[in-house]
Amino acid sequence: METVLAVTEEKMQKTVQALESDFSMIRAGRANPNLLNKISVSYYGVMSPLQQVANISVPEARIILIQPWDKKLIKDIEKAILASDIGITPSNDGNMIRLVFPELTGERRQELVKDIRKKAEASKVAIRNIRRDAIDSLKKMNKNSEITEDDLKDGEERAQKLTDMYVKNIDTVTEAKAKEITTV
């Protein structure tokens, strides 16, 4: 029973982490270097994460500077940024690349908030499905006489407590991101 609950908690934790990762990719009008986490560049024939081939800094609230260690990479980095879905056009001066983030409109902010709420709801559904699978596993164990009725009830209660805790975590993360997006 303990292993079922441990696996359940681990899956729920990964679901919340995946949501947080998704949220970090949503730009809120401010420059966030996490937007570049999924961008890879061909470096001597090997696809390498952007962070490993360049220095990334945020000198101002709406600007990201990318300074490649090898100047030959500037064109490849620009292509990779354009091919990604961050929606920012890079500009370079031969030494570094600038990403300037435009101010978000009120309408766009509301769309982003709706989008994060949809993602949060999908994560809550995933958490509930994990709970259902755990309870099904516990019921099978009970049916096969591996655990008692009392253990089954205790396991169901603990699975529900885990579910409540992780759903609350999702709500907290979602509200923080919504506040970040709506703050001008």
Which CATH number goes with the domain that contains 70?
3.30.1360.40
Residues of the chain short of pLDDT 70, as ranges, are 27-29, 184
Question: Under 8 Å CB-to-CB from 39, ≥6 apart: which residues?
Answer: 49, 50, 80, 81, 84
Are residues 134 and 90 part of one domain? Answer: no
Are residues 128 and 81 part of one domain? Answer: no
Residue-level pLDDT at 29: 66
Do residues 97 and 91 make contact, with C-beta atoms less than 8 angstroms apart? yes
The total domain count for the chain is 2
Are residues 76 and 40 part of one domain? Answer: yes
Residue-level pLDDT at 36: 85
Are residues 41 and 109 part of one domain? Answer: no
Residue-level pLDDT at 135: 94
CATH number, domain containing residue 17: 1.10.132.20
Strands 91-92 and 97-100: antiparallel
Single residue among 84, 100, 116 that ends a domain in this structure = 100
pTM for this predicted structure: 0.72
* Three-state DSSP state, 23: helix
Are residues 112 and 168 part of one domain? Answer: yes
Do residues 50 and 66 make contact, with C-beta atoms less than 8 angstroms apart? yes
Are residues 118 and 94 part of one domain? Answer: no
Number of Cβ within a 10 Å radius of residue 170: 22
Buried b (16+ CB within 10 A) or exposed e, 28-49: bbbbbbebbeebbbebeeeeee
Q: List the domain range (segments joined by +) for residue 137.
A: 2-25+105-182
Number of Cβ within a 10 Å radius of residue 76: 15
Are residues 10 and 55 part of one domain? Answer: no
Write the DSSP string, 84-114: SSS----EE-SS-EEEEPPPPPHHHHHHHHH
Are residues 71 and 124 part of one domain? Answer: no
- For residues 39 and 47, what is the distance between their CA atoms, to the nearest angstrom? 10
Single residue among 65, 80, 100 that ends a domain in this structure = 100
Residue-level pLDDT at 136: 94
Token pair 């982490």 in the structure block, residue: 17
Single residue among 70, 100, 130 that ends a domain in this structure = 100
163 closest CA partner among 132, 139, 142, 137: 132
Are residues 13 and 38 part of one domain? Answer: no
Residue-level pLDDT at 184: 62
Do residues 161 and 46 make contact, with C-beta atoms less than 8 angstroms apart? no
Amino acid identity of residue 162, one-letter, is L
Residue-level pLDDT at 150: 93
Are residues 140 and 93 part of one domain? Answer: no
Are residues 40 and 18 part of one domain? Answer: no
Are residues 96 and 110 part of one domain? Answer: no
* Three-state DSSP state, 176: helix
